[in-house]
Chain A
Amino acid sequence: MPVKKTKKYTLSVPGVTNNLATIRAFIRRIALKGGFTEDDTEEIELAVDEACTNAMKHAYRFNKEQSIDLEVALDSRKITIQISDRGLGFEADQIKPPDLKKSIMEGKPGGLGIHLMRSLMDEVRFRMNPGKKNTVTLIKYRSQYPS
């Protein structure tokens, strides 16, 4: 189905992990409706899950009183997902690709989520304003254009 102009969708959920399935279903519905392939849709779903998990775990420490806001914009070239929280934020630029061997030796896995986001999406941006608004922006361009 051709998408001629930008369509926008929003979702706001409490920042706890039992909402991850709801978030994935929301993103999946939009991506498929927007003509993304099944493979691309699965990648978008996982990247959004990782961004939301990070916000729930690190920004809010699983505080259900706080919300996570998703804004999705869909146009003919791409899908843009903005995930915002009002939690602690982090220095995204300081996070390097995970050293798996070191993580295994120390029994402390970390940084996998951001690595996955960067691998799955075409663009990943972080804008941190701790306590006010931290936003992760995920962009994926279509591998197939709608006919």
Chain B
Amino acid sequence: MNDFNVRVTEKDDISILYVEGFLDAHTVSAFESSILKLVKDKKYKIVVNMQKLEYISSAGLGVFMGFIEEIREQGGDIKLTNLSDKVFRVFELIGFPTLFDILPDEEEAITKFNAI
């Protein structure tokens, strides 16, 4: 069994999601629920730290695509950080780097949010 885990912490008005393990069509509902809860709570500044994400399929990518427009309309963003080469390659194949803010680390994402 390939497990997936997501943990959320707050830094001021920024929510940081630490995702870990394998994000596929089976585990995606846990990730989707976490993002949905943030949106319902009107927390639109979101950083997803992927340092411990070992695998992502299109099911996981679809969650970003499903929420990003609504979040940006509310003045927020989903910033992606700490991607491994393997995970970045999947994002690249889909064309995500032109549409999403992909940054080397969490601190840089927080700095960018605070600069707005």
Contacts and interface: CB of A to CB of B under 8 A. Distances in A.
Interface of A: 17-18, 20-21, 24, 42, 46, 49-50, 53, 56-57, 98, 100-101, 103-105, 107-110, 112-113, 115-116, 119-120
B24 interface: yes
Given A21-B22, A112-B58, A104 B90 contact: no
Q: Which among B2, B24, B90 has the greatest number of chain A C-beta atoms within 10 A? A: B24
Instruction: Across the A-B interface, give the 4 residue pairs with the lowest CB-CB distance, nearest first.
Output: A17-B26, A112-B58, A109-B62, A109-B65
B68 to A, nearest CB: 6
Interface string B21-64: 01011100000000000000000000000000001011101100
Contacts of B90: 46, 116
29 contacts: A17-B24, A17-B26, A18-B1, A18-B26, A20-B25, A20-B26, A21-B24, A46-B55, A46-B57, A49-B24, A56-B25, A57-B25, A100-B98, A101-B99, A103-B65, A104-B65, A104-B68, A109-B62, A109-B65, A112-B58, A112-B61, A112-B62, A112-B65, A112-B94, A113-B58, A115-B58, A115-B94, A116-B90, A116-B94
Contacts of B67: 107
A106 B11 CA distance: 30
Contacts, number: 75
A104 B93 contact: no
A107 B69 contact: yes
Contacts of A101: 99
Contacts of A46: 55, 57, 90
B93 A105 contact: no
Contacts of B61: 109, 112
B66 interface: yes
Contact of A104 (B22, B25, B58, B99): B99
Interface residues of B, number: 26
B8 to A, nearest CB: 22
Contacts of A112: 58, 61-62, 65, 94
Nearest to A43: B89
B75 interface: no
A24 B2 CA distance: 10
B112 interface: no
A119 B91 CA distance: 12
B94 A104 contact: no
Contacts of B94: 98, 100, 112, 115-116
